């Protein structure tokens, strides 16, 4: 790595020259750096806004799942069978599905080798369990904080290798050559030195960028993403990276004071759902108004435990996702607040003393609680019996659910779509590798925990390809600056205009809130063509006027202003993708419901916006791809690639491998 100082307008700007920059310090980013080093490319560094920020390190669930190939027992499984599971989720290319399956065991055992405590039996078999959209028992877990443990262990091995980490650097531009054909570097805000105009900006001139920036969490107000996760998809789209399956995300019920998925035993102990006015008064058990009988209500609550993501296929006939709709109806349509009460049983299904009538439960619910020795008491007592750490988790974060209600909402949780890449995780922009959640490798549905597998596989593939094909030095400094000058000057001018016009008041957080509220209301799990069109107009107007309308009271808020810029680009493109999907005849699927005037209401008393039509998904075998062109978006719909059937005769593969013809 080489260091220079160059002049941009009247500012001194630090420049680092190196082969590869990894942007992001989550599980995918750290794995990319570790793999690059192990494969022989050591001229590398990590750039991160904050090493302790992001989704991987700060999220989890009741039992956070990692999805892998079956590695125990007698159940038949294979790479091809796992690939078929991924492919069956819809709108996923077969070559990506096969690759994620093929590297599953390798990626999993790498995590085991560096100390992630996945459980195995006395023979060394890594046993599994069935997760959602999983025909086998491929799921495993290291507990509620699986991804945190992965990140911490990967960070440790990266630091042992003395790989340079630029901590406190926010990427504000992905730099390309003049033809927008390949990425040649990045421009970052140095958050550690914002007060010094000659250290405020840093350039990284590099041959490759591995982009592990996570999902676009910042554009949602109601979110289970950690507060520290914002995303940087917008500036990649601005640079010319292609988007893919941007309509596809997951949403589900989560707590909002401490952001956490409320899956598993949190639902299976059958808590009481109550709503109040904004002041916490006028308490109502609102679910009972909509169900035919208390037994069906309890079964729907129970099934939310392992059917956690909202799914329009599970709305009719009082299935589990009707719970999500009823929570949204209370919070968004009626403007009330919704809570889980673990201290009392639902009154509709209890006697005068508050004892639950377990005899009204469906067979699956009853047998689960019976097998767990939990056919007794109040929800909190059942939770303590089945999963005491679930109670401890909230106590550790300042919420005592043994004594207080837990406020909830339907929240954004994961982006299945994202940036396009090929089977080596290289974008349409050469030398640019989106990995982890920012990569749109998933289709409409995916098995629980497959995102963690995908992040490890994708970052490994990127490292393999770079080491085999993109070694060597980056551009000469003068050529780099000439090629990227226009974009560098544009972003520096925007930043300096704000920095030189500080005021006594600030509105950057207000703008961020407005962006989030818009997306959560019209671009999350309840959608319509009319609302998408309105959101497109509003987000584009806000983007065009952002820097003119932004007021900063301190230089620390430069970071927030550039985040708002990224989020508005992201929101504009995502809402445009939703509009395009609906206009192509797209129906409710995955984790969202689309209003259809010719459809049906799941329950008669609900608001008209919940009217939708179920049916055959005609776009299930196609992938939507998009280019952002500044004032518009260009969409293409491509047929999915089938799962490849290559020549796997050993001698033929060995011959190609020995001649270096595989990683091409």
Q: Token digits for 493?
A: 């001018």
Provide the sign of the torsion angle of the four alpha carbons 589, 250, 266, 275, taken in this order: negative
Three-state secondary structure string covering 574-628: HHHHHHHHHHCCCCCECCEEECCCCCECCCCCCCHHHCECCCCCCCCCEEEEEEE
Q: Is residue 611 part of a domain?
A: no
Regarding whether 256 and 243 lie in a shared domain, the answer is no
CA geometry: angle 444, 594, 310, nearest 5 deg? 55
Contact 25, 154 (CB under 8 A): no
Q: Is 537 helix (H, G, I), strand (E, B) or coil?
A: helix
Distance (Å, whole) CA 246 – CA 231: 14
Measured between its terminal Cα atoms, the distance across the chain in Å is 26
Regarding whether 116 and 177 lie in a shared domain, the answer is yes
Regarding whether 365 and 378 lie in a shared domain, the answer is yes
Residues near 168 by beta carbon (within 8 Å), at least 6 away in sequence? 48, 49, 50, 190, 191, 192
Distance (Å, whole) CA 143 – CA 31: 20
Contact 458, 146 (CB under 8 A): no
Q: What is the CATH number of the domain that holds 10?
A: 3.50.50.60
Q: Is residue 110 part of a domain?
A: yes
Regarding whether 58 and 135 lie in a shared domain, the answer is yes
Give per-residue pLDDT as tens, 448-501.
999 999 999 999 999 999 999 999 999 999 999 999 999 999 999 999 999 998
Regarding whether 440 and 394 lie in a shared domain, the answer is no
Q: Token digits for 452?
A: 């963690």
Beta-bridge mates of residue 12 = 7
Regarding whether 269 and 170 lie in a shared domain, the answer is no
Q: Is residue 29 part of a domain?
A: yes
Predicted local distance difference test score (pLDDT) of residue 605: 87
Regarding whether 138 and 45 lie in a shared domain, the answer is yes
Regarding whether 432 and 382 lie in a shared domain, the answer is no
Contact 258, 398 (CB under 8 A): yes
Of 376, 392, 412, the position where a domain reaches its end is 412
Q: What is the CATH number of the domain that holds 331?
A: 3.90.700
Predicted local distance difference test score (pLDDT) of residue 616: 85
Distance (Å, whole) CA 470 – CA 462: 11
Q: Is 234 helix (H, G, I), strand (E, B) or coil?
A: helix
Contact 415, 437 (CB under 8 A): yes
Distance (Å, whole) CA 640 – CA 90: 9
Regarding whether 241 and 170 lie in a shared domain, the answer is yes
Q: Is 289 helix (H, G, I), strand (E, B) or coil?
A: helix
Distance (Å, whole) CA 527 – CA 364: 32
346, 337, 343: which is closest to 302 by C-alpha? 346
DSSP string covering 377-430, please?
A: S-HHHHHHHHHHHHHHHHHHTT--TTTS-EEEEEEEEEES-EE---TTS--SSB
Q: Is residue 599 part of a domain?
A: no
Distance (Å, whole) CA 499 – CA 491: 12
- Residue 523 DSSP one-character state: S
Q: Is residue 358 part of a domain?
A: yes
Regarding whether 257 and 237 lie in a shared domain, the answer is no
Neighbours of 583 (CB within 10 A): 12
Distance (Å, whole) CA 653 – CA 660: 11
Q: If 0-12 CB within 10 Å is exposed, 13-18 middle and 19+ buried, where does residue 636 land?
A: exposed
How many domains, in total, are found in the chain? 3
Of 394, 412, 430, the position where a domain reaches its end is 412
Segments in the chain below pLDDT 70: none
Q: Is residue 641 part of a domain?
A: no
Of 391, 412, 433, the position where a domain reaches its end is 412
Q: Token digits for 332?
A: 């968004």
Range of the domain at 566: 502-524+535-583
Q: Is residue 613 part of a domain?
A: no
Regarding whether 294 and 332 lie in a shared domain, the answer is yes
Regarding whether 542 and 399 lie in a shared domain, the answer is no
- Residue 545 DSSP one-character state: T
Q: Is residue 589 part of a domain?
A: no
Q: Is 509 helix (H, G, I), strand (E, B) or coil?
A: helix
Predicted local distance difference test score (pLDDT) of residue 607: 92
Residue owning tokens 């220079």: 4
């Amino acid at each position: 790595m080489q260091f220079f100082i160059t002049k941009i307008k009247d500012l001194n700007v630090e420049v680092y020259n190196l082969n590869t920059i990894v942007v992001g310090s989550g599980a995918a980013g750290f794995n990319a750096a570790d793999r690059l080093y192990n494969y022989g490319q050591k001229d590398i560094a990590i750039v991160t806004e904050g090493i302790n920020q992001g989704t991987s390190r700060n999220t989890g669930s009741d039992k956070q799942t990692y999805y892998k190939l079956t590695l125990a027992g007698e159940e038949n499984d294979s790479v091809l069978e796992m690939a078929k599971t991924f492919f069956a989720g819809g709108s996923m290319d077969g070559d990506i599905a096969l690759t994620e399956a093929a590297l599953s065991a390798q990626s999993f055992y790498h995590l085991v080798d560096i100390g992630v405590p996945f459980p195995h039996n006395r023979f060394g078999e890594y046993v599994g369990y069935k997760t959602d959209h999983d025909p086998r028992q491929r799921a495993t877990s290291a507990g509620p904080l699986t991804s945190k443990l992965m990140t911490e262990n990967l960070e440790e091995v990266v630091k042992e290798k003395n790989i340079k980490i630029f901590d406190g650097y926010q990427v504000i531009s992905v730099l390309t050559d003049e033809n927008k054909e390949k990425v040649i570097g990045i421009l970052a805000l140095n958050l550690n030195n914002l007060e010094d105009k000659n250290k405020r900006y840093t350039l990284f001139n590099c041959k490759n960028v591995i982009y592990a920036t996570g999902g676009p969490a910042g554009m949602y107000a109601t979110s289970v993403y950690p507060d520290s996760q914002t995303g940087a998809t917008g500036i990649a789209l601005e640079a010319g990276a292609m988007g893919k399956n941007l309509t596809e995300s997951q949403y589900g019920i989560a707590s909002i004071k401490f952001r956490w998925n409320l899956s598993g035993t949190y639902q299976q102990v059958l808590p009481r759902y109550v709503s109040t006015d904004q002041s916490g008064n006028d308490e109502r058990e609102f679910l009972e108004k909509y169900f035919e009988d208390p037994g069906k209500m309890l079964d729907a609550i129970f099934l939310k435990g392992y059917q956690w993501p909202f799914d329009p296929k599970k709305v009719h006939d009082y299935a589990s996702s009707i719970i999500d709709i009823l929570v949204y109806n209370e919070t968004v349509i009626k403007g009330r607040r919704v809570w889980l009460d673990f201290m009392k049983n639902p009154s509709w299904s209890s006697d005068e003393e508050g004892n639950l009538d377990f005899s009204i439960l469906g067979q699956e619910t009853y047998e689960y609680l019976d097998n767990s020795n939990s056919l007794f008491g109040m929800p909190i007592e059942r939770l303590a019996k089945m999963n005491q750490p679930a109670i401890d988790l909230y106590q550790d974060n300042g919420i005592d659910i043994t004594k207080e209600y837990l406020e909830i909402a339907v929240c954004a949780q994961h982006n299945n779509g994202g940036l396009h890449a090929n089977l080596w995780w290289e974008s349409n922009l050469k030398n640019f590798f989106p990995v982890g959640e920012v990569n749109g490798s998933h289709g409409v549905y995916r098995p629980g925990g497959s995102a963690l597998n995908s992040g490890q596989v994708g970052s490994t593939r990127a490292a393999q390809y770079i080491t085999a094909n993109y070694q060597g030095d980056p551009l000469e400094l003068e050529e780099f600056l000439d090629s990227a000058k226009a974009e560098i000057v544009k972003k520096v001018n925007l930043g300096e205009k704000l920095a030189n016009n500080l005021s006594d008041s600030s509105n950057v957080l207000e703008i961020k809130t407005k962006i989030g509220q818009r997306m959560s209301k019209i671009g999350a799990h309840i959608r319509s063509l009319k609302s998408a069109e309105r959101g497109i107009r509003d987000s584009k107007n806000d983007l065009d006027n952002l820097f003119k309308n932004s007021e900063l009271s301190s230089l620390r808020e430069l970071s927030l202003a550039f985040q708002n810029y990224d989020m508005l680009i992201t929101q504009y493109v995502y809402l445009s993708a939703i509009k395009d999907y609906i206009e192509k005849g797209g129906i409710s699927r995955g984790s969202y419901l689309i209003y259809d005037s010719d459809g049906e209401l799941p329950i008669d008393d609900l608001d008209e916006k919940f009217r939708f039509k179920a049916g055959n998904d005609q776009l299930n075998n196609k992938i939507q791809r998009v280019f952002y062109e500044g004032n518009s978006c260009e969409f293409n719909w491509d047929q999915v690639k089938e799962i490849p059937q290559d020549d796997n005769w050993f001698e033929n593969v060995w011959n190609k491998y020995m001649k270096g013809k595989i990683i091409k």
